[in-house]
Amino acid sequence: MTGDKAPDYAKAARAVEPVVVYPEAALPLPDLALYGAARARAVKTGEVLVAPREAACLPVRAGQFLRISCPEGPQVGDLNLWNLADLSERFYSGKTRALHGTHLDVGDRMWSSFPQLRPLATMVADTLAWYGVDAFGGRVHDVIGTRCDPYTHHLLTGGEYHHCCHSNLTRALAEWTGKPVSEVESAVHDVLNVFMCTGFTADTGQYFMKASPVRTGDYIELFAEIDLLAGLSACPGGDCGQGHSSDEALCYPLLCEVFALPPAALEGWESPQPSGYSGSHGA
Ligand SMILES: [Zn+2]
């Protein structure tokens, strides 16, 4: 594709410096000091243990904190977020990636789909923050990958596997809503890959994964900006060091804990409103 047919301006074109599309300084920044002070006063109000190769849904109210941890061993989680009152508003992985980068850090937001486009949650703690970027370009907590799913598995192998994250999330949402899987499947969406270590290969630009550095006791915490329904799948890939979409990897549960606090502790914070764009699209 390159080489002989490159035009005479190829060198100059490649030498042009890139510009960041969405400088983070232009975004409304979260008040992490306020969240931190609130978190210090929050008390645990509930927990859900997600079994290996399964998923579960749980509500997290605006102003509450959701901690996702590995209680027994290294395990990657695939996280979906919906507006609790309107499942059509859901986490928008692609726009979140465009705004914050391929992997999420403390202070980054999980943004919702159009037409609302608002922060659903803010990452406020991460015990894997030390990992940074490794020599392969690997980082943790990606918004690149979509979720393991039975369709891609069938495409590649011709086989049937029912415990991919997509199927786990679909079953969990069906159970939560009391609707058949056929009705809720389309609400399952691209995920935040919690604890997963991923990147793109330097030579071919292909999506790669490697064993997550997560250990027992590690966690992330998310602050719920609106009333949320969270869906979390304990990926059949375990630490995703080898493969997924099978029962071969060693898998562990994931623990979801919710922490709440008195409303006064969040003075100065308001749940974000949907986008103020008129929606006319010039029509
Ligand atoms: Zn998975």
Q: What is the pLDDT of residues 184-240, one digit of tens each?
A: 999 999 999 999 999 999 999 999 999 999 999 999 999 999 999 999 999 999 999
Residue 160 has pLDDT above 80, yes or no: yes
pLDDT interval class at 264 (50, 70, 90): confident
Nearest to 231 by CA among 32, 111, 106, 56: 56
Q: What is the pTM of this model?
A: 0.95
Q: What is the 3-state secondary structure (H, E, C) of 29-59?
A: CCCHHHHHHHHHHCEEEEEEEECCCCEEEEE
Residues within 5 Å of ion ligand 1 by Cβ?
A: 78, 148, 165, 235
State in Å: Cα 202 to ligand 1 middle: 24
Q: How far is CA 109 from CA 18, 195, 218, in A?
A: 24, 16, 20
**Residue 146 lies inside a defined structural domain of this protein:** yes
Look at residue 131 and give its three-state secondary structure. helix
Is 182 buried (19+), middle (13-18) or exposed (0-12) by CB count in 10 A?
Answer: exposed
**Residue 237 lies inside a defined structural domain of this protein:** yes
Distance CA(264)–CA(98), nearest Å, equals: 34
Mean predicted confidence (pLDDT) in 147-157: 96
Distance CA(234)–CA(49), nearest Å, equals: 10
State in Å: Cα 126 to ligand 1 middle: 20
State in Å: Cα 132 to ligand 1 middle: 22
Q: What is the structure's pLDDT at 247?
A: 86
Q: Phi, psi (5° rounding) for residue 36?
A: -65, -40
Q: What is the structure's pLDDT at 268?
A: 85
State in Å: Cα 110 to ligand 1 middle: 19
Is 108 buried (19+), middle (13-18) or exposed (0-12) by CB count in 10 A?
Answer: buried
Distance CA(69)–CA(107), nearest Å, equals: 18
**Residue 39 lies inside a defined structural domain of this protein:** no
State in Å: Cα 119 to ligand 1 middle: 24
Q: What is the structure's pLDDT at 134?
A: 98
Q: How far is CA 92 from CA 108, 113, 184, 214, in A?
A: 13, 5, 17, 25
**Residue 37 lies inside a defined structural domain of this protein:** no
Residues 248-263: tens digit of each pLDDT = 889 999 999 999 987 6
Residue 1 has pLDDT above 70, yes or no: no
Residues 6-58: tens digit of each pLDDT = 999 999 999 999 999 999 888 989 999 999 999 999 999 999 999 999 999 99
Q: Over the range 195-208, which residues count as b (16 or more CB within 10 Å of their CB) and which as e? A: bbbbbeeeeeeeee
Residues 86-143: tens digit of each pLDDT = 999 999 999 999 999 999 999 999 999 999 999 999 999 999 999 999 999 999 999 9
The total domain count for the chain is 1
pLDDT interval class at 243 (50, 70, 90): confident
Q: What is the structure's pLDDT at 129?
A: 98
**Residue 33 lies inside a defined structural domain of this protein:** no
State in Å: Cα 43 to ligand 1 middle: 31
Distance CA(58)–CA(268), nearest Å, equals: 27
State in Å: Cα 12 to ligand 1 middle: 42
Nearest to 211 by CA among 252, 241, 243, 251: 241
**Residue 35 lies inside a defined structural domain of this protein:** no
State in Å: Cα 69 to ligand 1 middle: 16
Q: What is the structure's pLDDT at 67?
A: 98
Q: Which domain holds residue 141?
A: 46-262
Residue type, 6: A
Distance CA(164)–CA(223), nearest Å, equals: 27
**Residue 29 lies inside a defined structural domain of this protein:** no
**Residue 277 lies inside a defined structural domain of this protein:** no
Q: Phi, psi (5° rounding) for residue 63?
A: 90, -5
